[in-house]
Each structure stands twice: as C-alpha cells, then as structure tokens.
A = this chain, B = another copy of it.
Amino acid sequence: MQERRPQFLKNTAEVITVGNELLIGKILNTNAQWLCRRITTLGGRITRVTTIPDEVDVIALTIKQALSRKPDFIVTVGGLGPTYDDKTLQGVAKALSQPPQLNRKALRMVEEKYLELSAKGIVRKTNITAERAKMARLPRGANPLFNPVGTAPASLSHNGRTLIISLPGVPSEMRAIFDNSVTAIAVEKFSNLHFKEKSMMVKNVPESELAPLVDEVMRSFPTVYIKSHPKGGGKHLLLELHFSTYGRSGEEARKTVDSSSKMIRGMIRKI
C-alpha cells in the first residue's frame, strides 16, 4: 500500500515531556495533550511527542535528535524547578553547546517572585540561595519568559530555524506562560495554515466495511485526514468518523472538511 505523505511539511513542532513521574505512570500526561491541541489549533503540526526521564544526557540527546528533524518549534515541559531532579535546562544547554549561566533578567524575575511571596507571608526568607539561583541559570543566549503563576521562568532559545521553548511542568504555569509569551510567536509563525475538523457518528457499519470508502474519500480530498474511532461495542456498532485538514484559510479548510464528510455520508447511504 502506498504511503500517503503529510500534505504540509512546514509548521512542525515536537513536544518533549520530561519527568520520571510520567514514566512510572503516576501522572497522566495532560500537558502533552493541551500543547498538542493548542499548537494544532494555531496552525502547527505536532510530529512527535516524547516522554523521557530526568537525565541530562537523555534530555540532550533527545533534543539533538529533534533538532535534526528541523521542526519550527521544540517545546519541552517539566524540569525547571529548584530541586535536584530539575535538569531540563542543563539538557537543553548541552544539546545546544551553550553552557548554562546565570541570566540577569531571569534572576530579576526570580528575586521579584520571592519578594512577592514574602510580602504575602508565604515564604520567610527572600535571599537567593543556590537552589533559587538555579532557576535563573539558562542556556547561554536564551531569553527568560515570565511566569505569571509560579517562580521558575521559562526559557526560549534559537538553533537554526528552530525555536526551543522550555516550560515548567505544573499545568497552570505551563498554560499561563504559553498563553502569555508563546501564543503570539506561534500565531505569527503558523499564520499560513488553518486547522479545521469535524466528527460524524456512523451506526451499524463495521469498520472493515467503511475502510474502502474512507480510502476513496481520502483519495478525492488529499489534504483531508479521516480517522475512525470505534465507540463501544454491544449490540449496535457505533463509529466516530473524524475529519481534519489544514487549509490556506479557515474558510477553505472548513469547506474541504464539509465536502469530504458529505461525500462519505452519501456513500454510506448506498451500502
């Protein structure tokens, strides 16, 4: 069977989630889904999500491998805090050969956070210990991104055409920094493509009978991706058919998704 290549080789992004808590299955990776959804909606195409342990060498190698695929964005999540096992920026630094160094702007952000926490009576001491300074150590040449919710700033680096963005793993912090600082960059970078999708429920048609129809519609609409999702078994077969596409405009994408779903609806009636 011939391989259908992705229609748009541009606008690619990879997500790397770092954390042993994910690998032992303690935590469900909702961060990955949130980022995939957000970036897709902004016109980006996520080509890979990788979850790896808190080990500098593994992080560095995984980022190097991602860089070799030349995506527009690499977004790492987790491992930015003050504790021993927060190693993501060391891994990024190693991958980029840009040793971690104290970033003045990041240090200012951390200092102000502790003054704020102290004013609220949440912490007693505001001095910058080694652990606190650690959060301001970014790869050389990186820019800190303000964290509106927590203490550790995020980090933004460049490598060739790729932006490397490192976000903290606490979901509220990750989301706030993304919305605050990354969305605008993504909107600009991915404005040439628009993602649209549509779902259709199909009753009492086995997936195996639907398969050749799906194949035919995908041949007629080469930019459309159709995926069937079986929805529970029992006496009645229920399938969700999910249509998605990227278009040069939102309108174009919507029309393509609508036309392809109408085509298959007509074919199903004739089964």
Chain A interface residues (CB < 8 Å from chain B): 1, 3, 5-6, 19-30, 32-40, 45-53, 55-57, 81-85, 90, 117, 120-123, 129, 131-132, 135, 149-151, 170, 195, 197, 206-212, 214-215, 218, 225-230, 233, 235-237, 242, 244
Contacts and interface: CB of A to CB of B under 8 A. Distances in A.
Nearest to A19: B227
A6 B121 CA distance: 39
A226 B58 CA distance: 19
B55 A6 contact: yes
7 nearest A-B residue pairs (beta carbon):
A25-B37, A25-B36, A82-B208, A49-B51, A131-B211, A131-B208, A83-B211
A29 B244 CA distance: 19
Interface residues of chain A: helix, strand, loop or mixed (majority):
mixed
Given A1-B84, A3-B57, A25 B34 contact: yes
Contacts of A52: 47-48
Most chain B C-beta atoms within 10 Å of own C-beta, residue among A23, A39, A85? A23
Contacts of A29: 28-29, 32-33, 49
A175 B211 CA distance: 25
B123 A206 contact: yes
B55 A90 contact: no
Nearest to A81: B207
A30 B28 contact: yes
A233 B140 CA distance: 31
Given A51-B48, A131-B211, A21 B227 contact: yes
A100 to B, nearest CB: 10
A40 B57 contact: no
Contacts of A47: 23, 52-53
Nearest to A231: B170
A80 B207 CA distance: 12
Contacts of A83: 207, 210-211, 214-215, 227-228
A189 B121 CA distance: 52
Contact of A225 (B20, B120, B170): B20
Nearest to A56: B3
A242 B195 CA distance: 40
A37 B206 CA distance: 32
Contacts of A212: 131
Contacts of A150: 230, 233
A132 B209 CA distance: 9
